[in-house]
A = this chain, B = another copy of it.
């Protein structure tokens, strides 16, 4: 059986808590081994990707250990003055977040905006 593929799109910083709860509940319900889950942040949401281990970053890291990929839009990092070296080690920087959201959907991922 093919894994259930989902890309979550987070653009507002205030939505991170709700977004991470959504991802967590999804893994608990469907089983981490049965899903491919990615979280793409662009817009002001990228400001949560700080080097400091905030509670949000700790929750992301836990989810990453369960296989969830975290992505940051380079355009958004630049717009918010965040150096790429400042984002947590488990975050992958992509050239443009929208292109990733488009290609993932073309490749069969569901899109969810928490």
Contact = CB atoms under 8 A, between A and B. Distances in A.
A23 to B, nearest CB: 8
Contacts of A101: 6, 110, 112
A88 B4 CA distance: 30
Interface of A: 4-6, 9, 11, 18, 22-23, 25-26, 28-30, 35, 42-43, 73, 75, 95-99, 101-106, 108, 110-114
Prevailing SS type, chain A contact patch = helix
A90 to B, nearest CB: 21
Contacts of A11: 18, 114
6 contacts: A6-B102, A22-B98, A23-B98, A26-B102, A102-B110, A111-B112
A1 to B, nearest CB: 11
B4 A99 contact: yes
Given A25-B75, A96-B30, A112 B106 contact: no
